[in-house]
Amino acid sequence: MPRYFLEVCYKGTRYSGLQLQENAISIQFEVEKALNIIFRMPQAELGDPKGREGIKLFVSSRTDTGVHALQNFFHFDTDFVFIPKHIYNLNALLPGDIAVINIYNVADDAHCRFDAIAREYKYYTYQKKDPFLEDRAYYYPFKPEIDKLNELAGLLIGKADFSAFSKRKTKVKTFDCTIHQSIWVEENECLVYYVKGNRFLRGMVKGLVATMLKCAKTDDAAENFKAIIASKDCTQADFSAPSHGLFLVKVSYREGVMGLLVKTK
């Protein structure tokens, strides 16, 4: 059966996260519903995600409640043939805060999660009250030293055990992640943390942001931050950074995975 990658973007404010959940609205639920309407397939009720029929989506990078994405992917299998107008039809059915960007034909064994080689996030903070940033950035009314924050961010480069920045009850085989880039920058009146890595643990980016902001207030910031990393204890980290400041900005795949684009024009 042919397999497709579905590229989407969304504003996560109204949703309980990307993945299906019982008795809660998710990005996946809305996209599956739109697909099944177009192809006249059955759709499960909101409270019964496990019993759903029709087209079923598999997720690439899970995002939590309130987190946004400029790019994320699903994959699914179907015998239906996609044509360009289906992208328009999907967007007409989807709520205004979710959009389909593109659809790609891929190999039958391609997997949007396991074939991803890198993910990139940005976390936005702002220091001056701004009602237009309220649901898209973290209002942090302090002026941290960007040089000190970048000293801490630089300590994350490379492969390490990031248990300290993973929320509890996370079912993973390893807490090792490889961070390729980690830097704080000033961008359009915001202080932004940018990070790129091969994988991220549940709550990891928010944990890194809040912990760096907290450590930056101390005299021995680098030593304190190193101690938290080495502890491998999530109770030592700070996870208070709110979800609405976090954006998944890019998911990268090795060359050849994406296949043929179902073009919009």
Segment-wise mean pLDDT, segments of 10 residues, the chain, 265 residues? 93 92 88 88 54 79 93 92 87 97 91 95 97 95 94 97 88 92 95 97 96 95 97 95 97 83 54
For the domain bounded by 3-114, which CATH number is listed? Answer: 3.30.70.580
For residues 218 and 208, what is the distance between their CA atoms, to the nearest angstrom? 16
Residues 6+ apart with CB under 8 A from 38: 86, 89, 90, 93
Confidence (pTM): 0.91
Q: Where are the domains of the chain?
A: 3-114, 117-249
For residues 104 and 101, what is the distance between their CA atoms, to the nearest angstrom? 10
Q: Please tell me the predicted confidence (pLDDT) of residue 265.
A: 44
Identify whether the C-beta of residue 213 lies closer than 8 Å to the C-beta of residue 140. yes
What residues pair up with 139 in beta bridges, in sequence order?
126
- Asked if the domains 3-114 and 117-249 are classified in one and the same CATH topology, the answer is yes
What is 117-249's CATH topology?
Alpha-Beta Plaits (3.30.70)
Q: Is 202 exposed, middle or buried (0-12, 13-18, 19+ CB in 10 A)?
A: middle
Q: Please tell me the predicted confidence (pLDDT) of residue 66.
A: 93
Catalytic residues: 64
Q: Please tell me the predicted confidence (pLDDT) of residue 258.
A: 77
